[in-house]
Every structure is written in structure tokens, then in C-alpha cells.
Amino acid sequence: MKRIAVYPGTFDPVTNGHIDLIERSLRMFDEVIVAVATNPKKQPLFSLEERVDMLRKSTGDCGSVVIEGFDNLLVDYLRQKKAIAIIRGLRAISDFEYEMQMALMNRRLDSSVETVFMMPSEEYSYLTSTIVKEIATYNGSVAGLVPLIVEERLTKKFGK
């Protein structure tokens, strides 16, 4: 049986930290589905289609990665995809409380769901999509923080 994990998130935009977790997740799972959430509460900078496209272009060499949008309850999505785990990144202690609450709620909704917490590589431990967008807003360089396609799209959005 194929071991499938889901890495959910808004990915607005995808960062090199996200790519790092995707690549490392593939060492543990046969397939990783990157589930891009619509999440209108966050008022994303990029549309769902743009975020999916940037992720697809950024993970082209990652092997068994599937990128798709979703807008339903995560545990229902996992059941639909026959996934056995949720991948979540923990950058700092401040992430832990929220992520633990979500993991426990997901387990309550479906006791077969496991959440796998992964630490980012040191070079990405401070990196968030919010920080990237703020830097880009002020025409700062995001080189090395995001895949090239994201850097190009941010430049286009903010018109350097």
C-alpha cells in the first residue's frame, strides 16, 4: 500500500522553506500531496490558481509530489486521498501551540489521522510567506528565500 501524506497550507507564496519540507517528506512517504487551501480569511496576495502553478513549477524535480487546491475539511480531504498523515512544519515554539491544537482536533475528527511535525533546515527557520511578502512590498530582494518563479511573480506584482 502506498504511503501518502498531505502537506496543507496557503502557500502565499511558496518559500524555499516549504520546498525543503516537501523534499524531506518524500524520504518518509511514497507520495506527498501539497494541498493548497483557498482560505479566503487570509486574503491571499496570489490567487489559488497562481499558487498552485508556482508550486508545480517549483517542485517539478521532486518526484512523487502532487499539487492541488482544496477547500474542504482537511480530514475529509485525507480520507478522499487515502492519505495516512498530515505534514506540518514547526519553525519556533510559537508555532507549536497552534499546530498542536490543530493536530489534536484532526485526530478527534478522525482517529486514524497522524500529524508529522518537521523542523525546517536551519537556513529557513525564520522564513515565512508573510516576511517574504513584506520584503517584496518594499522592493527588497527575496533571492534565495523563494524559488525563482516566485521571485519573478513578486517582482511583477510589486513592479520593481
130 within some domain: no
Peptide bond into 44 cis (omega under 30): no
For residues 34 and 70, the answer to whether their CB atoms sit within 8 Å is no
139 within some domain: no
Cα 21 from Cα 89, distance rounded (Å): 7
* Burial group, residue 115, by CB count within 10 angstroms (0-12, 13-18, 19+): middle
pLDDT at 160 (0 to 100): 63
pLDDT at 42 (0 to 100): 78
pLDDT-based confidence at 93, cuts 50/70/90?
confident
CATH code (residue 47): 3.40.50.620
Q: Domain range spanning residue 86?
A: 4-125
For residues 38 and 74, the answer to whether their CB atoms sit within 8 Å is no
Catalogue the active-site residues: 18, 42, 91, 129
Task: For Cα atoms 103, 107, 113, give the angle at the middle one, nearest 5 degrees.
Answer: 95
143 within some domain: no
Cα 7 from Cα 62, distance rounded (Å): 14
131 within some domain: no
pLDDT at 92 (0 to 100): 80
Lowest mean pLDDT among 35-44, 49-58, 97-106, 123-132: 35-44
Please give the tally of structural domains in the chain: 1
136 within some domain: no
Q: Is the confidence at residue 61, as pLDDT, over 80?
A: no
147 within some domain: no
* Rounded (10°) CA dihedral 94, 95, 96, 100: 140
Query: Is residue 71 classed as helix, strand or coil in its secondary structure?
Result: coil
- If DSSP states are collapsed to H, E and C, what string results for 114-147? EEEEECCCHHHCCCCHHHHHHHHHCCCCCECCEC
For residues 143 and 11, the answer to whether their CB atoms sit within 8 Å is no
135 within some domain: no
| DSSP annotation of 111 | T
For residues 24 and 124, the answer to whether their CB atoms sit within 8 Å is no
pTM reported for the whole predicted model: 0.94
Q: Is the confidence at residue 39, as pLDDT, over 80?
A: no
159 within some domain: no
